[in-house]
Amino acid sequence: MNLGQPLGSVIEGSLTEGLEVRLHPDISVEDMRVGKFLVVQGMRSRFFCMLTDVALGTANQRIIANPPNWEDTFLREVLAGSGTYGTINLAPMLMFTPENNETYSATNAKSVNPFVPSATGLASFQPQTSTTMELLPVKTIPSHFSQVYEANEDDFRRVFGWEDDPQRKNFSIGKPLDMDVPVCIDLNRFVERSNGVFGKSGTGKSFLTRLLLAGVIRKSAAVNLIFDMHSEYGWEAVAEGKNVNTVKGLKQLFPSQVEVYTLDPESTKRRGVRDAQELYLSYDQIDVEDIKLCSRDLGLSDAALDNANILFSEFGKSWIVQLLSMTNDEIEMFCDEKRGHKGSIMALQRKLLRMDSLKYIRAACPQNYIDKILQCLEAGKNVVIEFGSQSNMLSYMLVTNMITKRIHEKYVKKADKFLQSKNPCDRPMPLMITIEEAHRFLDPAIVQSTIFGTIARELRKYFVTLLVVDQRPSGIDNEVMSQIGTRITALLNDEKDIDAIFTGVSGGGGLRSVLAKLDSKQQALILGHAVPMPVVVRTRPYDSTFYAEIGDIAWEEKPDAEVFAAAELAKADLGF
């Protein structure tokens, strides 16, 4: 087996603390980057590892006490590799052990059986499919002086698969930092659990999210409900950088598979969004739990919420309409009869009047728009809900909670029907709900009362999962974070946020330095359920090349002049 040039030898280590490797004299420590994917060839097994730290070492303390002059290049070269050397720390993630009749030679790391000569005369792995690869969790470590090698393309394909694998819905999300090999995530496993995209502001979370959503739509892994707070996913969005340009949204890439609903039709029209549908909500659809979630933004006290329950008990679904129309005398009479508190009810009335200014709120709606959204999802259409100018936190928390709660109720009924009938036709299509500013919904103080906390803990029990996008993962409840299946994390600086990313992750200590050393753009650490082992990638560019590879083949955007010219030509052909 041609493993290439060895980089170093394992000199010590443990299963819990990782391996320490001394680099060979001809290997520069400056070529070793945190997050690099390396392979250790043991006596019987091959270990796939991530580089977590780089250090310098000396054989004698006298060298440090009396270092050579910076101009004395000859002495520095004499000491290099013997008196001075580099070391790296590796975290073993996976191991591959051939069958019992396939053994390695301890001297040249060649296998007697599993490798066959290629056309070039070099030995290589026989091709394997995703069902024959047996990558196991690391339960041991390689012996002393095992050699460390650069991971090659076969290694990456063996661990992360390939995008055209017929047996899996793999999606290439990027490439390793120093290789031109796709790194894939398994979308079937990705949608099995709730997932998160994290990173501080400006690190490209929206671009990462668009990549993932485009992959899920292209591979039909799940149907998506996307709450687009800043109008970045449905239609065009402004690209980051000095030059002002735009990137395509999901509706442009998949016009037949994506529906856009808007809470602000005027803003949507100004942006040139095509075929957007209006979305309105009515007061009779808002219950006390919806108001409770927004109590912080509305400035409501616990006493006001208690009195809201009294009003709901008396008036039912019309409680807000009745409250807003009540005079002071009517409020006083109501309080005398129902033992309410006049001051709290008047405060509640005053605070709820703010909702009259929301463009999408109506006293009554001619149709149930939430049912329309559900019908789209049931038909396999992905739905993007744009907020436009209604992107304040009050609107975002109110609308997302109202719609999600009601759709989740429908999915619970559909899932129960499927479990009872066992009929494949009754099986609901997996639904993935994307929310931004997730810590506002999953804060420890309110997570028990939000539908999002329930969904995150259910682990797809009712075929509904979350894709949470957030820059402050430390604000998310620890129990919820421990249930996040796959975490795709751009650069984070805050220690609390870094700690939160590794909540519930065994061996996360060695990855902390990897996360802290990411570039601020187009790099991410991926770990969790959808990848076999943690990996740092240079994320896939979201550009014209990506559009051509991922978008609907039957659709191609053309300039208006070309479209009109084609229309005139068609009219002439028809004799008009």
Q: How many domains does the chain have?
A: 3
* Contacts of 156-159 spanning 24+ positions with Cβ under 8 A: 156/37, 156/181, 156/182, 156/183, 157/181, 158/96, 158/125, 158/128, 158/133, 159/48, 159/94, 159/135, 159/532, 159/533
3 state DSSP class of 386: strand
- Average pLDDT (50-59) is 89
In terms of domains, do 129 and 191 share one?
A: no
**Domain limit, last residue, from 324, 357, 390:** 357
Is the pLDDT score of 111 beyond 50? no
Check whether residue 311 and residue 384 sit in a common domain: no
pLDDT > 60? residue 117: no
In this predicted structure, the answer to whether residue 109 has a pLDDT above a threshold of 80 is no
Same domain (yes/no): 269, 298: no
Buried b (16+ CB within 10 A) or exposed e, 46-67: bbbbbbbbbeeeeeeeeeeeee
Q: What is the mean pLDDT of residues 221-242?
A: 83
Q: Does 568 fall in a domain?
A: no
In a domain, 167, yes or no: no
For residue 557, is it within any domain? no
Do 459 and 508 share a domain, yes or no?
A: yes
Looking at 339, 357, 375, the residue that finishes a domain is: 357
Contact 262, 249 (CB under 8 A): no
> Residue 99's pLDDT is what?
66
| Predicted local distance difference test score (pLDDT) of residue 242 | 52
Statement to judge: residues 265 and 312 lie in one domain: no
The whole-number average pLDDT for the span 472-490 is 90
Whole-prediction pTM value? Answer: 0.82
Q: Are residues 350 and 485 in the same domain?
A: no
Closest by CA position to 312, among listed 336, 345, 353, 281: 345
pLDDT digits (tens, 9 = 90+) for 149-208: 998 888 888 888 888 888 888 999 999 888 888 899 999 999 999 999 999 888 888 889
pLDDT grade, residue 20 (50/70/90)?
very high
Structural domain includes residue 105: yes
Same domain, 407 and 262: yes
- Would you say residue 406 lies in a domain? yes
| Residue of 253, 225, 248 lying closest to 385 (CA atoms) | 225
Report how far residue 185's alpha carbon sits from residue 172's, in angstroms, rounded to the nearest whole number: 7
Write down which residue in 108, 134, 151 finishes a domain: 151
Q: Which pLDDT does position 565 carry in this prediction? A: 52
CATH of the domain at 511: 3.40.50.300
DSSP letters spanning 459-518: TTTTSEEEEEEES-GGGS-HHHHHH--EEEE-----HHHHHHHTTT-TTGGGGHHHHHT-
Q: Find the domain containing 229 and state its range.
A: 185-280+365-550
Give the three-class secondary structure for 125: strand
- Whether residue 47 is found in the same domain as residue 74: yes
- Residues 381 and 397 both lie in one domain: yes
Do 110 and 138 fall into the same domain? yes
Average pLDDT of every residue of the chain: 83
Query: How far, in Å, CA of 209 to CA of 231, rounded?
Result: 13
Tens digits of residue pLDDT in 486-525:
999 999 888 899 988 988 777 677 788 888 888 888 899 9
411 and 465 belong to one structural domain: yes
Considering the domain boundaries, does residue 559 fall inside one? no
- Is residue 425 located within the same domain as residue 486? yes
Share of the chain above pLDDT 70, in %: 88
pLDDT(569) > 60: no
Q: Does residue 168 form part of some domain? A: no
Is the residue at 556 inside a domain? no
